[in-house]
Amino acid sequence: MPIFKKPKALQEISEVASWPVYVIGITASMGGFMFGADTGQISGFLIMKDYLRRFANDRGNGIYKFENTREGLIVGLISIGALCGALIAAPLSNKFGRRTVMIAAAIVFWAGNTVQITAQWAWYQIMIGRFISGLGVGSLSALVPVYVSETVPKEVRGTLVAAYQLFITLGILVSYLINLGTSRVEYNSGCWRGAMAIQYLWSGILILGMLFLPESPRWLMTHDRHKDTIRALRFIAGKKNRDNKEFINSEFDEILQMVEVQRTLPKTQWYSAFVPRERVLYRTVLGFALGSFQQLTGANYFFYYGASTFQSVGISNAYVTQIILGAVNVICTFPGLYFIEKYGRRKPLIWGGLWQCLWLIVYGTVGSAGDPSSSRIGAVLIVASCMFIAGFASTWGPGVWVAIGELFPLRVRAQSAALATVGNWTFNFLLTFFTPFIVTAINYRYGYIFAGCNLLAVITVFLFYYESSNLSLEHIDMMYNDPSVKPWKSSSKVGPTRDDFPYRDDAIRRQ
């Protein structure tokens, strides 16, 4: 008999989502805001005259311009730091807790920002500071989706994990606005030091907020801290359900049963994320692929190098164009939060990838066919960029972070999520470092490469990614091990209740 059956009516979100649940999602997502703020910040710095005078290559006659290698290293070293940070965060969070390591990561980001803001003329000091900041950002990118997924109810899990991407977009837009304001003093280091100084505020909010939030109940349970687990579940339940013993005990028992089953399996190490049993290897590779494809869509090409690109099409104030792109990014992320809960996880990724592919073809074709500096061609390029970003913001932007938070079984969740973010940061660095070289060689035809990557991403989602909306993390684990459910048919299925399918060792490990 199949484990999964036709959907039942959804429980009202208001019955399970208390104000503490939203506080958890919003506070943790400040990690995304920090990343977004840095992304938007550096693209503006690359065209600030004082920043160029101090850190770019001197071409003589008062002309300063970054050579491709130096520009790629300054922009891309945060990605290498983030890659290392994601790998370090996984074992640390398993030992010390998701919440504790997230606070530590924000402090590391603070340190990296300090190294950058104190730089005078050494471009490599900026590069080192961005690497240190990346350690913090990467740790948060691996832990925020895991922490939120393990903490909030399944009915709002997709929305609140996707809030990480929303805060990335908000961070990008806020940095664009700050860059516009500080650029008015572009002959003074305050144009970029002032923007950097504001970064301390974002990490400070995360640190302060996390001090008052509970640790992940699932992490507490794996460390036999049952009283703390109850306290965390009561906090999450909010005023309405915190004294409802039946509700709290039901949540407690569901987590406890899965943890007990996981304990019968071999002790986890890094290689545990690559074992075929329970389709762990399948899910780790899929997570890595989705994280990589989020970068290969081409979104950060516009966010990192947007100001430089739009200067080349004759826009007199590239900061204003960046703000337009940033505003589109933020506004279109809101429908993305709705799409993830309304239409599930698979459909937005599939249709979003096709939409992005279309507009990248337009971008590559129009940019290559005419003179990009002409007003008509320039306008089409900006429209194509905006339409692409609208699709990314409402689908692949938030959708991948939701997948990373939901995809993996508890015992290897931190390791596999870290590896998924490693894919994301690896291609983030490769794109940021090599983009100046590629654009020099093929210019706007770069859009065709990204279009092909989007098409490949759509095929991957269709063939391998399961629909997981409205399922508990424990039931998602069951679904990936159910041979009767195929990815392309999983959208019409919903997980069982405890009565429908009791937790048993042979059920979880039937392969």
Residue 169 belongs to some domain of the structure: yes
Instruction: Report pLDDT digits (tens) over 179-217.
Output: 888 777 767 888 889 889 999 999 999 999 999 999 999
Of 264, 298, 325, which marks where a domain is finished? 264
Of residues 385 and 17, more confidence is placed in 385
What distance in Å separates the CA atoms of residue 363 and residue 383, rounded to the nearest whole number? Answer: 9
Rounded mean pLDDT, 361-369: 89
Query: Do residues 327 and 399 both lie within one domain?
Result: yes
Query: Do residues 159 and 236 both lie within one domain?
Result: no
Show the tokens assigned to 278.
Answer: 């329970």
* pLDDT of amino acid 315: 61
Residue 207 belongs to some domain of the structure: yes
Query: Do residues 358 and 251 both lie within one domain?
Result: no
Task: Share the mean pLDDT of the chain.
Answer: 83
Query: Do residues 160 and 250 both lie within one domain?
Result: no
**Minimal CA–CA distance to 132: which of 81, 80, 87, 204?**
81
Show the tokens assigned to 187.
Answer: 């002959």
DSSP 425: H
Query: Do residues 390 and 304 both lie within one domain?
Result: yes
pLDDT band at 505 (very low <50, low <70, confident <90, very high): very low
* Phi, psi (rounded to 5 degrees) for 66: -70, 130
Residue 423 belongs to some domain of the structure: yes
Query: Do residues 326 and 401 both lie within one domain?
Result: yes
* Residues above pLDDT 70, as percent of the chain: 87
Q: DSSP alpha helices (H): ranges in 313-374? A: 318-342, 346-369
Query: Do residues 170 and 233 both lie within one domain?
Result: no
Instruction: Report pLDDT digits (tens) over 15-68.
Output: 555 688 888 888 998 998 998 888 778 877 888 888 888 998 888 787 888 888
Instruction: Report pLDDT digits (tens) over 78-117.
Output: 889 998 998 899 889 989 999 999 999 999 999 999 999 9
Residue 14 belongs to some domain of the structure: no
* pLDDT of amino acid 318: 66
Instruction: Give me the domain span that covers residue 311.
Output: 19-213+265-508
What total of structural domains would you count in the chain? Answer: 2
Query: Do residues 278 and 402 both lie within one domain?
Result: yes
Rg (CA), the chain: 23
* pLDDT of amino acid 338: 87
Rounded mean pLDDT, 369-397: 84
Residue 299 belongs to some domain of the structure: yes
Q: Is residue 301 pLDDT above 90, yes or no?
A: no
Query: Do residues 75 and 219 both lie within one domain?
Result: no
Chain-centre distance of CA 313, in angstroms?
A: 30
DSSP bridge pairs for 65: 57
Instruction: Report pLDDT digits (tens) over 316-337.
Output: 666 777 788 788 889 999 998 8
Of residues 303 and 176, more confidence is placed in 176
* pLDDT of amino acid 507: 37
Q: How many CA atoms lie within 13 A of 50 on its CB side?
A: 16
Q: Is residue 293 pLDDT above 90, yes or no?
A: yes
Query: Do residues 234 and 194 both lie within one domain?
Result: no
The CATH number given to whatever domain includes residue 360 is 1.20.1250.20
Show the tokens assigned to 291.
Answer: 């994280």
Instruction: Report pLDDT digits (tens) over 216-254.
Output: 998 999 889 999 999 988 888 877 777 778 888 888 888
**Minimal CA–CA distance to 300: which of 415, 165, 190?**
165
DSSP bridge pairs for 210: none
DSSP 244: -
Is 87 strand, coil or helix? helix
pLDDT band at 307 (very low <50, low <70, confident <90, very high): low
Residue 3 belongs to some domain of the structure: no
Instruction: Report pLDDT digits (tens) over 107-163.
Output: 999 999 999 999 999 999 999 999 999 999 999 988 998 898 888 887 788 888 888
pLDDT band at 270 (very low <50, low <70, confident <90, very high): low
* pLDDT of amino acid 163: 86
Query: Do residues 47 and 85 both lie within one domain?
Result: yes
Residue 129 belongs to some domain of the structure: yes
Beta strand pairing call for 57-60 and 63-65: antiparallel
Residue 4 belongs to some domain of the structure: no
Q: In this predicted structure, which of 184-198, 338-352, 416-430 has the lowest mean pLDDT?
A: 184-198
Q: Is residue 470 pLDDT above 90, yes or no?
A: no
Query: Do residues 145 and 255 both lie within one domain?
Result: no
Q: Is residue 417 pLDDT above 70, yes or no?
A: yes
Of residues 306 and 388, more confidence is placed in 388
What distance in Å separates the CA atoms of residue 126 and residue 108, rounded to the nearest whole number? Answer: 15
* pLDDT of amino acid 201: 92
